[in-house]
A and B are shown apart, each in its own frame.
Chain A
Amino acid sequence: MTSAVDGMEHDLVGRFAVNVIGAGPETIMFAHGFGCDQAMWRYVAPAFGQDFRVVLFDFIGAGNSDLAAYDPDRYASLAGYADDVVLLARSLGIAGGIFVGHSVSAMIGVLAAKQAPELFAKLVLVGPSPRYIDDEGYTGGFSALEIEELLEFLDSNHMGWSQAMAPVIMGNADRPELGVELTNSFCRTDPDIAKRFARTTFLSDNRGDLAGIDAEVLILQCRNDAIAPVAVGEYVHRAIAGSTLSVLDATGHCPNLSAPDETIAAIKAFV
């Protein structure tokens, strides 16, 4: 799935594990959310390779990204992640392109688009949420206590976050001699970075950033999403003038994995 990335600084490709597939006059950039890596787009992204140059990458701390590049100060707020998106997009020469962001990376995309409006003409926000904690007159989906409990729990218990981020040789039917395989080789997330990313994500409040977006916006909302509930999707829809809200018949938070066909159809209709 990797192809040579022309004109892009080699160390950026390595740092963010950038993969470019397909070809086309426009570029569509997919960003993953909290808890996973670019692999989560594997049922959706290839469908666009015929007509678009498709860009996939891992945020620092996920997948095959360079963990050494993780700077706790830079990534203490979503702005740091948005800076990375702008850096990558500029380096790839994206102009008037499409950004597809899942979960927290939807908001990261919004911040990036406001910072550099020339980069993206269209934004697709999948399961977005500008704030997860309930507030007066606002339903985020979680109480402050619940988020506190989440963060405390992450601090003390690694759950099943895939540990070793070291390179892995995939077991493969054609080459069984390469047998050694990490048990959980997708969605690799460094547990220490995951802790901090969780803090940054779940304590964020970007409601104020929803206004004044120049790009055209499509919101994809799952009908039964505990993390970004329907009320939040509707809030984002109301806050972004001219946006389109499309409710997918999907359960859970990751329609790109649980309902890839509907997701592809919804995005294709928009772009």
Chain B
Amino acid sequence: MTGDGAILEVNRTFLAWTGHGAQALVGKRLPDILPIAGKIFYDTHFAPLLHLQEHFDEVALDFVCADGSRMPALVNAVESRDRDGRREFIRLAVFRTADRRRYELDLLDARNRAEEAVRLEREISQLRDQFIAVLGHDMRNPLASIAAGMRMLGKEPISDRGRRVVELVEGSVVRAVGLIDNVLDFARGRLGGGLTLARDATEPLEPVLRQVVNELRSIAPDRTLLADYALADPISCDRGRIGQLLSNLLGNALTHGARDQPVRLAARTEADMLRITVSNGGTPISAATMERMFQPFFRGQIKSNRDGLGLGLHIASEIAKAHDGTLTVTSDARETCFIFEMPLAPRGQ
């Protein structure tokens, strides 16, 4: 083509591919044998680029054949200039790419469908999380009523058997509320709210821990739960959350530990750290399980009559992180031990 884009010469191969006669093409401009998109592309992008950098490689263009059909092609273009820097001519090397183009379009199509599928999945997942949050929240009300009712009933004159039933129901409510708390925390975390935390050192932690231990003893009265406290220093923490963490760990130990061995709790402060350990006996946890057990919804390969959701350990580890602390586990034939450690004061104080 001339520097202006007028077709000067066309080789036989191109003529054969497109069915045009040489006379029909010479003198025409390249856009004349391009479809509308190609015409606009040529004048707004192809030609400018060629003027600027004297070559344009790997352009995907469709040519319009003599019979009106399209020939998909890949084009390399090069401009040459004379001694004065004026454009002499433009040469195009054209490669047919029907199969290649089909492959590219297939890939583009597959990618679009995959992106759409991901978007849909995300939408569904978000709806699901919102639903869980609402459900959990709504369930608190009836549970609160039950708890209140049981408290009132407990004050009435009732038989020993009746008192036993009240205790059982209260224990169940405690467990149900624990489950809901975990679910809500999880849903809130997924929706980006994060784990809420209110840290201070205005009150001692020990009473909160004792309360949790009592609750769990009431749920599992036939089990031995030994607690040892040595909390000498003030601890800046969210006491409710630490209580939740302990509740999850103790519940875990009671569920999975050997029924004929005690569950031990030790809570102490030393060297500016708070350290809470919960241990139980029984079958050691496998290394594979230990790697994944802090992930949400992980339930291991144990008892199928579990009514847990697999969130307890995950939430506990999130609470640990939120306090700049760690939650780790060791397990051998003698005992399985969960260790929670956190600094007594937030970093930077």
Which chain A residues lie closer than 8 Å to B17 at the CB level?
Answer: none
Do the beta carbons of A184 and B40 come within 8 Å of each other?
no
Instruction: Tell me whether B105 and A36 are in contact (CB under 8 A).
Output: no
Q: Which residues A114-168 have CB closer than 8 A to chain B?
A: 142, 146-147, 149-150, 153-154, 156-161
> Closest residue to A185 on the B side, CB-wise?
B53
Q: Render A237-271 as a binary contact track against B, CB cut-off 8 A, 1 for contact.
A: 00000000000000111100110000000000000
> Which of B41, B48, B53, B108 has the most chain A CB atoms closer than 10 A to its own CB?
B48
9 pairs of A and B residues whose beta carbons are closest in the complex: A35-B44, A160-B59, A153-B37, A35-B45, A257-B51, A253-B43, A186-B52, A146-B36, A150-B37
A45 proximal to B (CB < 8 A) = no
What are 11 pairs between A and B in contact, CB < 8 Å? A35-B45, A150-B37, A157-B60, A160-B41, A160-B46, A160-B58, A186-B48, A186-B53, A187-B45, A187-B49, A226-B39
Residue pair A159, B52 in contact (C-beta under 8 Å): no
Q: Is B4 an interface residue (CB 8 A)?
A: yes
- Smallest Cβ-Cβ distance to A103: which chain B residue: B44
- CA distance in complex: A161, B48 (Å): 12
CB proximity to A under 8 Å, residues B1-38 = 4-6, 29, 31, 35-38
Binary CB contact string for chain A from 34 to 64 against chain B (1 if under 8 A, 0 otherwise): 1110011010000000000000000000000
B199 CB to closest chain A CB (Å) equals 36
Chain B residue numbers with a CB within 8 Å of A225 are 43
Tell me, in angstroms, the Cα distance from A185 to B40 when the chains sit together.
Answer: 20
Known A33-B44, A227-B40; 15 more pairs at CB < 8 Å: A34-B44, A39-B52, A103-B44, A142-B36, A146-B36, A154-B37, A156-B105, A158-B108, A159-B60, A184-B53, A184-B56, A185-B53, A187-B52, A225-B43, A254-B48
- Considering only CB atoms and an 8 Å cut-off, how many residues of chain A contact the other chain? 38
Q: Is the CB of B37 within 8 A of A149?
A: yes
Q: Could you tell me the dominant secondary structure of chain A's interface residues?
A: loop
Residue pair A184, B37 in contact (C-beta under 8 Å) = no
State the CA gap A40–B4 with chains docked (Å): 17
Question: Closest CB of chain A to B8's CB: distance in Å?
Answer: 14
Given contacts A34-B44, A226-B39, contact A160 B53 (CB under 8 A): no
Distance of A150 Cα from B37 Cα, bound (Å): 5
Q: Which residue of A lies closest to B39 (CB)?
A: A226
**Does A3 belong to the interface (CB within 8 Å)?**
no
Bound together, the chains give a CA A266 to CA B50 distance in angstroms of: 24
- In whole angstroms, how far apart are the Cα atoms of A112 and B6 in the complex? 37
Interfacial chain B residues near A187, Cβ < 8 Å: 45, 48-49, 52
Q: Which residues of B sit under 8 angstroms from A2, Cβ to Cβ? A: none
In the complex the two chains form, what is the Cα distance from A198 to B37 in whole Å?
A: 11
**Residue pair A189, B37 in contact (C-beta under 8 Å):** no
Known: A157-B105, A159-B60. A257 touches B52 (CB 8 A): yes
Write the chain A residue with the least CB distance to B38: A159
Which residues in A have some Cβ–Cβ distance to B below 8 Å? 33-36, 39-40, 42, 103, 142, 146-147, 149-150, 153-154, 156-161, 183-187, 189, 198, 202, 225-227, 251-254, 257-258
Instruction: Assess the B58–A253 pair: CB atoms within 8 A.
Output: no
Query: How close is A202's CB to chain B, nearest CB, in angstroms?
Result: 8
- B interface residues (Cβ-Cβ under 8 A, vs A): 4-6, 29, 31, 35-41, 43-49, 51-53, 56-61, 75, 105, 108
Given A159-B60, A251-B5, verify A258-B52 contact (CB < 8 Å).
no
Q: Is B51 within 8 A of A258, CB to CB?
A: yes
Task: Let me know if A149 and B35 touch, CB within 8 A.
Answer: yes
Please judge, given known A-B contacts A40-B48, A184-B49, A252-B47, whether A160 and B40 are in contact too, CB under 8 Å.
Answer: no
Report B-chain residues with C-beta under 8 Å of the C-beta of A258.
4, 47, 51
Query: What residues of B have a CB within 8 angstroms of the CB of A186 in the complex?
Result: 48-49, 52-53
Closest chain A residue to B76, Cβ basis: A183
Cα distance, A159 to B45, chains bound together (Å)? 11
A35 touches B60 (CB 8 A): no
A146 to B40 Cα, complex, angstroms: 11
Task: Identify the interface centre among B4, B5, B29, B37: most chain A CB within 10 Å of its CB.
Answer: B37
B108 & A257 in contact (Cβ 8 Å cutoff)? no
B90 to A: closest C-beta gap in Å:
11
Most buried by A among B45, B53, B105: B45
Q: Whole-angstrom distance between the alpha carbons of A19 and B60 in the complex?
A: 32
Q: Please indicate the chain B residues that have their CB under 8 angstroms from the CB of A254 in the complex.
A: 43-44, 47-48, 51
Once A146-B36, A150-B36 are accepted as A-B contacts, the answer to whether A183 and B58 lie under 8 Å apart by CB is yes
Contact A149 B53 (CB under 8 A): no
Q: Establish whether residues A227 and B36, one from each chain, have CB atoms under 8 Å apart when the complex forms.
A: no
Chain A residues in 8 Å Cβ range of B37: 149-150, 153-154, 157, 159
Report the separation of the CA atoms of residues A54 and B46 in the bound assembly, to the nearest whole angstrom: 26
CA A225 – CA B48 in complex, angstroms?
14
Known: A184-B57, A186-B49, A251-B29. A156 touches B108 (CB 8 A): yes
Closest to A260 in B: B51
Note all chain B residues with C-beta closer than 8 A to A39: 52
Alpha-carbon distance A40/B47, docked complex (angstroms): 11
Interface pair B40/A159, CB less than 8 Å apart: no
**A33 to B47, alpha carbons, bound, how many Å?**
13
Give chain B residues whose Cβ lies under 8 Å from the Cβ of A183.
57-58
Known interface pairs A154-B37, A160-B58, A251-B29; A40-B45 also in contact (CB < 8 Å): no
Q: Report the minimal beta-carbon distance from B109 to chain A, rounded to whole angstroms.
A: 9
Provide the bound-state CA to CA distance between A198 and B40, in Å: 10
Chain A residues, Cβ within 8 Å of B29: 251
Residue of B nearest to A147 (CB): B36
